[in-house]
Amino acid sequence: MATREEALQIMERMQNSRPRNFFRRFDDDNAGIFCVLKYLSAVDRPVSAGEISAFMNVSTARVSVILRKMAEKGYILRESDVEDARKSMISLSDFGREKNLRNRNETLDFFCKVIDRVGRERIEEFISISDEIRKVVEEEMQSERR
Whole domain around residue 8: which residue ranges? 4-145
Q: Number of folded domains in the chain?
A: 1
The whole-model pTM stands at 0.68
Alpha carbon 41 to its chain's center: 15
pLDDT digits 0-9 by tens, 38-60: 999 999 899 999 999 999 999 99
pLDDT digits 0-9 by tens, 98-115: 999 998 898 889 889 989
Report the CATH number that the domain containing residue 37 is assigned in CATH. 1.10.10.10
Q: Which of 61, 58, 49, 60 is nearest to 31 (CA)?
A: 58
The DSSP 8-state label assigned to residue 19 in this structure reads: -
User: How many angstroms separate the CA atoms of 113 and 68, rounded?
Assistant: 34
3-state secondary structure of 139: helix
